[in-house]
Amino acid sequence: MESTAVQKEGRITPQDIGLWDDAQIEGLKKITDFAHSQNQLIGIQLSHAGRKASTLPPFVHRNATATKEDGGWPENVYAPSALPFNDAYPQPKEMTVDQIQEFKAAFVDAARRAVKTSFDVVEIHAAHGYLIHQFLSPISNRRTDKYGGSFENRIRLLLEITDLLAPILAEHGVDFLDVSSGGIHPAQSTSIKSGDGYQVPFAIAIKQAIGDAMPVSAVGGIRTGKMAEGFLNDGLDAIMCGRWFQKSPGLIYSYAEELEVNVKMSTQYGWAFKRLQE
């Protein structure tokens, strides 16, 4: 379950889901319970949009601010620095140190709720130009305090969040690294997104740098099982899929059939295929 906001004003659009309140647990628990009833695992991606908050859904109007009339909150958009993503996005306010502490606490609370909701995986979304990524990049982070300037200062927030979540999520903190890129500046080249596995070279470079210290996965344009297997043979530990899952919810079953391997199907789907084999 992607892009779940840890604070109400951290949603990308007014239509986004969130986990900033205990009242949201019950609805999401219905989803996790169903997934588990089908012998499947389910994860959640926790995030905050930062300066990319209060926008309209891209299929309604791409690169447009969600006004108060749209259900948006353009006057309450926050970021590391008061720099908008572009002229079509809200003008953010620079976060105070107190607001940064509130954000960290909200992330921890959302993670606790995710565990209580029975999600099997909790992902810290620190890419694609959203709040944590905005702190990481000197393009969007012009702060002069302990959260800006040097590389060590710019990664401070992510490390602090990771340290706070470690006791909640796993004994030793981060379990794996999903490598993605882009989204921090509107003028960046989009040509990178024109081919198969367009993010894979970044993932392989990181895997080669860190070795066995942590499993590394790749995402982006991985359309077939053979393509996925090839990237695993190149040294990656796992493959992630997003848009291709939206296009084909049975994507993993297609991968498995293509590679002639067996996977544990959900109870609801597997029953039908089991009948074909009888």
Contact, 200 vs 218, CB < 8 A? yes
Residue 96 pLDDT > 70, yes or no? yes
Position 171 scores a pLDDT of 45
Contact, 104 vs 48, CB < 8 A? no
Q: Provide the terminal-to-terminal Cα distance of the chain, rounded to the nearest Å.
A: 35
Cα dihedral 171, 176, 182, 183 sign? negative
Residue 128 CB: number of other CB atoms within 10 A? Answer: 17
Q: Give the residue from 79, 76, 55, 50 showing the smallest Cα distance to 65.
A: 55
Residue 195 pLDDT > 80, yes or no? no
Structure tokens at 180: 């993605």
Q: What is the 3-state secondary structure (H, E, C) of 150-205?
A: CHHHHCHHHHHHHHHHHHHHCCCCCCCEEECCCCCCCCCCCHHHHCCCCCHHHHHH
Residue predicted with more confidence, 137 or 194: 137
The model's confidence at residue 190, banded by pLDDT at 50, 70 and 90, is low
Residue 223 pLDDT > 70, yes or no? yes
Tokens 């590394």 — which residue?
216
For the chain, the domains span 1-175, 193-277
Fold for the domain defined by 1-175: TIM Barrel (3.20.20)
CA atoms of 182 and 127, how far apart (whole Å): 7
Backbone angles phi, psi at 101, to 5 degrees: -65, -40
Contact, 85 vs 52, CB < 8 A? yes
Position 271 scores a pLDDT of 77
Residue 112 pLDDT > 50, yes or no? yes
CA atoms of 45 and 177, how far apart (whole Å): 13
